[in-house]
Structure 1
Amino acid sequence: MSTINLQDRAMGAIMGAYIGDALGLGPHWFYDLNEQYRLYGDWINDYTDPQPDRYHAGMKAGQQSQSGLILNMQIDSILTNGGYNEEDFCRRLDTELFPQLDGTANVGPGGFTSQSIREAWVLRTQHNKPWGEVAGFTDNTEAAERVLALAVRYATKPQELARNVSSNTLLTQCDETINAMTVAYSAVLGMLVQGHPLDENLSSKLMQLVADHQLPFHAMSIPGSKPSGAGTFASPDALLTPSSIARAAHENLIQPAWKVSIVYGMPCAVYHQFPACYYLAARYSDDFENAVLHAINGGGQNMARAMLTGALVGAQVGIQNIPKRFIDGLEDSNKLLNRAEKLAALIH
């Protein structure tokens, strides 16, 4: 178990997510790495301005994308209510975000609006559908990027973590496989905030939580166990993935590490993103800078990769071991630190 205290790990997770999000603002979605190299050089090592004719045009280095801004809403809602309040969170989307959208990708705060948010906006504002009936089948990490705050808040309470993360995910993404993988990522983050390492033994610890009915996955792979019951996720596979990938990471099987994006895939879907994040977070468990920079330099959906990796590694190294330049380079860094500190104070 980590010797870093719980609050410092929690703050590290939130600030790590903010940093990863902002690092991705400039070089977001380069699927042609040669084009990325031409515009940003062979190695990106800091915040950068977006190109004027690409995603997030007009924004500046160190600012938050819409993912970071929605994460702010999630945290502010948690702080107002002391925990997850779905009605309050949905009200914030309705009043703070949706009035700034028009259903197209490049309109909205942060310079880009993801597909799942656009679909929810259409059903909510154009068809007057209630929350609970606006989710679509988008397979991206949009929900994971906001529910990571719930994973931190409920890090010591896996049953509440799973229930709240699943409920929030289903607001915009209705595919149960995406839901299961998002809950699994959140459960991993919760374990890291508690102080468990991302190693070959983490999956067995997660499976013990399944056996204890703390996580809603089937327990069929646990000797002597019975299925968890109706309404649970179809299999425990999303919980078994992290330790297998950690073993590969500890053997340095991908060289250089940024090529994780080529091995697991550059696109936006969770089945590309989560494995890459687990690999980088396990390989650089004590090296925040290398973890997020390898996430960014892999191209493709590098913003999500860096944001989710940043949360995992930030939880392992703690706020005090995140390089100060990454925190100082964030716009409104003091406000972001204040949010992270207040959220961390709620954990017990």
Structure 2
Amino acid sequence: MKEMLNSRRTLLLALVVLLLVGGQLVVPGFTNASQFANQLKIATFLGLFGISQTLVMMAGGQGLDLSVGAAATLGGMVGAALIDQGSAGLLLAFGAAALCGAVIGAINGVGITLFKVPPLVMTLAMGSLVDGALIVWSSVMHVNTAASPTLVALAGGGVAGVPTIAAFWLAAASLVWWFVDHSAWGRRLMATGANPTAARLTGGRVRHVRIAVYVASATIASLVGVLLVGYVGQAFLGLGTSYVLTSVVVAVIGGVSLAGGRGDYVAVAIAAIFLTVLTSLLTALQIGEAGRQCIFGATLLAFLAINGWSVKGRLSIG
């Protein structure tokens, strides 16, 4: 049992299976093909936002990115304004969204690393600034907010019952897994989060690493914002707001350390599926908002306790 609990992937996979089996027993049809495809779409967006938080949290320094919602909204609105019916417009939309996200991330990174602004404060302030600017922009400029048919097909379509967007998530998850576990830059990222002083003494560029992860975080969020427009059909203010806290929660449940230097994105991806299936089951059971919040809070506390127990176990072994 102890060995199983130490494997976050195994624990989360077991919980997902338990929820699916239990859901099918109490709500017939809970695991049918269309229902599962819809859950996979929802989990995909949560998992993609989870990449942003995972990278930032791994870099240490109490890193969190509370501007991912604003970056997603900006990316979605800019993308919708530039997109047209063809593939050229789609590429322009994604390119412009990525540029907007990179600017947001660079400002966050510089403010945190050079001006020593706490990440929580810096990213929260940046998110508020972007949201405010978008309110002014949307009231002055009457730009297109509707998703093009191409974007709708990209984000909402599927092949043989498998959502197309899930394929993008699989590719992104594979890239992040390789980057963190098998690349030299990934090792520098983990070293920076685990012990920035030691990383600096061995030649690691701690500031550069942390600025880079904030740029990556906001860029990814902006790109996901464009996909969100295709999924919901329209860009609007607050498009990515609901993913700010849930992206942090899914990273924590996936075992990413709030102190930095430890994390496994495969577990984070499974955690996104777990949270999605749990939410779907609670909704199917008609559990009220108060009940859902209590269950989510208890779940988060349980995984925080497991995280703390795992760290204590490693320290005692060491």
Larger Rg: 2
TM value normalised by structure 1 = 0.26
Q: Please identify which structure carries the higher helix content.
A: 2
TM value normalised by structure 2 = 0.28
